[in-house]
Structure 1
Amino acid sequence: MGERKKKSAQAEFVKWFGPLLNALRDLGGSGKPKEVVEQIANTLNIPDNQREEVMKSGILRFHNQVAWARQYLVWEGLLEEGKRGVWTLSAKGQMIHLNLEESRDIFLKWVEIHQKTRKSKTDDKLISRQNEEEPEELEHEITPTLLEVLQSLTPTGFEHICKRLLREHGFENVVVTQASHDGGIDGYGTLELNPFVSIKVLFQCKRYKGTVSRAQVGDFRNAMIGRAEKGIILTTGTFSEDSKREASRDGAPPIELIDGKKLVELFESVELGVKPKTVYEVEYSFFEQFMI
């Protein structure tokens, strides 16, 4: 029993099993990953430094832990497989409230099942991998991810690929400014809201793995005041919680924040530089009955 507890203690994400189910109930049974993560963080008063911690891969650790909790709950049948980008409680999950001990039992059950199907990996290796990688990141060991490719571009190259991305998403007259960077502005474009109204949008591109600070968002806003109705910051990194609050501060021009995860989704939605591929995921709950 001591060894089993040691294994579950190594998997930090186990503690989010119960809060994840509760968050989805609070959201009416379903929600986008970002909404669910925010709900958990706000309900449990997770400190900013924990929410902002970044793994070596550039992914937010807290978000990744909740994503792994979601994956185990899917295997257990408490969440639906559903379409990508929406997490949904199953009928069974609606009725279940998990404490930490029950969460550990679910975790250990599925670690044992997966260990049987991957005989080359020990339990410790499986747990270590899950602590450091995204659930969907199965090909990461072989080929670079889209985010890694974007981070490898030159600063100028990243600005021009962002220009192309904005065009693909409906922006017109998109221009990248000269190398001098006009007051922190990397480019601008026009977005038609309807046949009668268009707005000018300024954008800034930050190609790195770090975290964009509140001061950087404030500097960008100062550069755009009086010149455009809207601003966008696109980064291959992440945004601090303070920077998010600054971007939506009352009485100030709004700024949209596009972090690395959202950036990848925007590339995928228009298939810019990526090709769709069908992947079949094993429905482990089906095979569980044959492993006894």
Structure 2
Amino acid sequence: MPQKKKQAEFIKWFGPLLDALRELGYSGKPREVSEKIAEMKGLKERTLDATLKSGTNRFHNQVAWARQYLVWEGLLDSSIRGTWRLTEKGKKTSLTEEEAREIFLKWVEINRQIREEKAGKQQVAKEESTEAPDEITFSAEDDLLSVLKSVSPEGFEYICMELLREHGFVSLSVTPKGADGGIDGFGVLEINPFVTMKIAFQSKRYKGSVSRAQIGDFRSAIMGKAEKGIMITTGTYTRAAQQEASRDGATPIELIDGEKLIQMFEKVELGLKPKVVYEVDLNYFDKFR
């Protein structure tokens, strides 16, 4: 008997995503929206910490898939990069899972037709159209993370040092191997002409998630050596790690995950060449079908 094909799990987040944005005042940053959904649904840490083979956070990835379909449906506005915002239609819309599935199937069919046109009318199997990959991909971001994961551990440390320099840090240095005690480098951040802060950074060229214990080890290493720590990874952080980083009464640790790392590279255009790319607004053309 043929194995039953896996259905798109992210459909279940269509309605909660709209609800979360309403709770946030109609707009929010991607991670902020995911956090609100997790809070409203009471999701367990096991669900929130799960990752895909690429190291991407599974839950946030599924929410990103849901967002894309809601943009196509005209419920979310995609005009502001880095911010998810409800349209006037989206503000008034609530979705059941069945309604969400209808939206999903509608746009799967539209995209299937587009793919067929691009492929010269080649047939795309109907049963394949009701599935979704595990992971939504955005080529520029994927390319950058892939490159960062391919450099040597030492090379990644120097890249992180240059990135911090581009963001205003001075007196940066990488610690010698074997003598770092878990610290990859130090730097100074000038908050204003009168106040500076010494920081220590650690870079982890990871595919998976950084644990709570690793945050604790890094904090122990910087005690008495820096006022603050910054951990930079190409992967993600577990919920427990995030909580440990901001624990009251302890030396604060700033966390930079793969997603935020990409944003930091893009902001200063480090190792990136900008180019104009136009994306077809499928929602605009939908009303003419």
**Under TM normalisation by the shorter chain, which class is it?**
over 0.9
Which of the numbers 45, 68, 72 marks the counterpart of 1:75? 72
In structure 2, stretches of 5+ residues that fail to align are 117-121
Please name the residue that 2:185 is paired with. Answer: 187
Q: Is the contact made by 2:109 and 2:129 (CA closer than 8 Å) also made in structure 1?
A: no
Please name the residue that 2:59 is paired with. Answer: 62
Please name the residue that 2:254 is paired with. Answer: 256
Please name the residue that 1:49 is paired with. Answer: 46
Letter in 2 for 1:134: I
Over the matched positions of the two proteins, sequence identity in percent amounts to 57
* Superposed displacement of residue 135, structure 1: 4.9
Please name the residue that 1:105 is paired with. Answer: 102
The 1:289–1:28 alpha-carbon spacing in structure 2 relative to 1, beyond 3 Å, is closer
- 1:136 maps to 2:133: no
Q: Is the contact made by 2:105 and 2:130 (CA closer than 8 Å) also made in structure 1?
A: no
Cα distance per residue 1:30-54 (max 9 Å; x no partner): 0000100000011111111111111
Q: Is the contact made by 1:18 and 1:103 (CA closer than 8 Å) also made in structure 2?
A: yes
Please name the residue that 1:169 is paired with. Answer: 167
The 1:127–1:108 alpha-carbon spacing in structure 2 relative to 1, beyond 3 Å, is closer
* Superposed displacement of residue 57, structure 1: 2.1
The aligned runs of 1:119-268 (5 Å cut-off) are 119=116, 120=122, 121-125=124-128, 128=131, 130-137=132-139, 145-268=143-266
Q: Distance in 1 between matches of 2:125 and 2:272?
A: 34
Please name the residue that 2:277 is paired with. Answer: 279
Q: Distance in 1 between matches of 2:130 and 2:146?
A: 24
Which of the numbers 87, 97, 100 marks the counterpart of 2:84? 87
Please name the residue that 1:18 is paired with. Answer: 15
Q: Distance in 1 between matches of 2:127 and 2:47?
A: 24
Q: Distance in 2 between matches of 1:125 and 1:148?
A: 27
Structure 1 length-normalised TM = 0.91
- Please give the root-mean-square deviation of Cα atoms over the aligned residues, in Å: 1.8
Q: Distance in 1 between matches of 2:272 and 2:127?
A: 34
Q: Is the contact made by 1:115 and 1:122 (CA closer than 8 Å) also made in structure 2?
A: no
The 1:107–1:241 alpha-carbon spacing in structure 2 relative to 1, beyond 3 Å, is same
Q: Distance in 2 between matches of 1:155 and 1:68?
A: 31
Cα distance per residue 1:44-96 (max 9 Å; x no partner): 11111111111122211111110111111111111111211000000011011
Q: Is the contact made by 1:68 and 1:135 (CA closer than 8 Å) also made in structure 2?
A: no
- 3-state SS of 1:191 partner: strand
Q: Distance in 1 between matches of 2:127 and 2:162?
A: 43
Cα distance per residue 1:73-128 (max 9 Å; x no partner): 11111111121100000001101111111111111111111111112444554555
Q: Distance in 1 between matches of 2:260 and 2:69?
A: 23
Letter in 2 for 1:67: A
Q: Distance in 2 between matches of 1:123 and 1:150?
A: 37
The 1:126–1:204 alpha-carbon spacing in structure 2 relative to 1, beyond 3 Å, is farther
* Superposed displacement of residue 134, structure 1: 2.1
Please name the residue that 2:119 is paired with. Answer: none
Please name the residue that 1:3 is paired with. Answer: none
Q: Is the contact made by 1:12 and 1:131 (CA closer than 8 Å) also made in structure 2?
A: no
Range with bigger deviation, 115-124 or 63-72: 115-124
- Alignment length, in residue pairs? 280
Letter in 1 for 2:188: T
Write out the 4+ residue segments of structure 1 that deviate beyond 4 Å after TM superposition: 123-128
Q: Distance in 2 between matches of 1:57 and 1:127?
A: 23
- 3-state SS of 1:132 partner: coil
